[in-house]
Amino acid sequence: MTLKLGVLVSGSGSNLQAILDACANKTLDASVELVLSNKPGVFALERAARAGVATAVLSHKDFSTREAFDAEIVRLLRARSVDTVALAGFMRIVTPTLLDAFASRVINVHPALLPSFVGVDAQRQALEYGAKITGCTVHFVDAGTDTGPIIAQAAVPVLEDDTVEALRARVLVEEHRLLPLALQWLAEGRLSLDGRRVRVRPLAHAST
Ligand code: GRF
């Protein structure tokens, strides 16, 4: 099933770009129907405009509660017939108002191997902790912070002379590969939940 994606962003949007590129080269069976940012002027909005995708800016500061903010996001997503939501560097905690509207259809990419290094600045956390391996995680979003069922993970080494920036760039390479891949698994209907475990059904072999 072709996904109708809403992508929520707050920053540079390199993960959004990976999604747009995957849609364009048909490795992801999806169309991005709306890119929504909680911050004006971010480069992600420019990327969306260049790709001819509709954008919206909705400042969380204009809402008195997280739920009211999420209710407006839901309204905007529904107006575009979005069926799946990707959080791609969206720096806000989402509430059940959004999660219930898109049950098991909200996916996030986090720049660490969960459950390690949750929350902001995960690459710095990994570096300062002294981890030798870190990476990224694509997961279904639940009401916790970076706690939802894990769909896919990829590891990268932490090198001896790493800076946060160098590590961030190395992790991003894997994020850009993994987020479109996980979305494609969803598009193919291959994901199912078994408690916390996400099962990825193998592709059926063509019969002869
Ligand atoms: C990514 O590292 C993502 O995992 C994190 O924020 C960063 C966003 O980068 N949540 P970008 O905006 O996709 O370039």
Could you tell me the pLDDT band of residue 50, with boundaries at 50, 70 and 90?
Answer: very high
In a domain, 206, yes or no: no
Nearest to 107 by CA among 72, 165, 152, 68: 152
Q: Report residue 175 as tokens.
A: 């994020």
Atom number in ligand 1 closest to CA 17: 13
- Is residue 203, in this structure, part of any structural domain at all? no
**Residue 74 · residue 84 · CB < 8 Å:** no
Q: Region 71-82: what's the mean pLDDT?
A: 98
Over residues 160-172, the pLDDT tens digits come to 999 999 999 999 9
Could you tell me the sign of the dihedral formed by the alpha carbons of 89, 93, 98, 99, in that order? Answer: positive
**139 pLDDT higher than 70:** yes
What percent of the chain shows pLDDT beyond 70?
A: 98
11-36 pLDDT per residue, tens? 999 999 999 999 999 999 999 999 99
What pTM value is reported for the model? 0.96
If we measure between CA atoms, which residue out of 70, 65, 76 comes closest to residue 95?
70
Instruction: Say yes or no to pLDDT of 92 above 70.
Output: yes
Q: Would residue 205 count as lying in a domain? A: no
In angstroms, what is the span from residue 91 Cα to ligand 1's centroid? 9
Residue 110 designated active-site: yes
Residue closest via CA to ligand 1's atom 9 equals 89
The CATH number of the domain where 72 resides is what?
3.40.50.170
For position 66, what pLDDT does the model report? 96
Share of the chain above pLDDT 90, in %: 97
User: Does residue 183 fall inside a structural domain?
Assistant: yes
Distance, CA of 16 to CA of 30 (rounded, Å) = 13
Contacts for 24 with CB less than 8 Å, ≥ 6 apart: 51
**22: in domain:** yes
- Name all residues whose Cβ lies below 6 A of ligand 1: 9, 11-15, 44, 88-89, 109-111, 172, 175
Number of domains in the chain: 1
Span 122-151, mean pLDDT? 97
Range of the domain at 149: 3-198
The answer to whether position 207 is within a domain reads no
Mutate to test the pocket of ligand 1, among 92, 127, 175 (most ligand atoms within 8 A of CB): 175
Domain contains 30: yes
Q: Tell the residue nearest (CA) to atom 6 of ligand 1.
A: 89
- Residue 153 tokens, joined: 């993970």
Nearest to 201 by CA among 1, 189, 182: 189
Confidence grade of residue 113 (pLDDT, cut at 50, 70, 90): very high
Q: Look-up: residue for tokens 């979305």?
A: 183
Ligand 1 atom nearest the C-alpha of 90 is 10
Q: What does each C-alpha distance from 145 to 104, 114, 172, 201 come to in angstroms?
A: 16, 11, 20, 27
Tens digit of each residue's pLDDT (9 = 90 or more) over 163-208: 999 999 999 999 999 999 999 999 999 999 999 999 999 987 655 5
Helices (H), 51-121: 66-79, 96-101
| Structural domain contains residue 204 | no
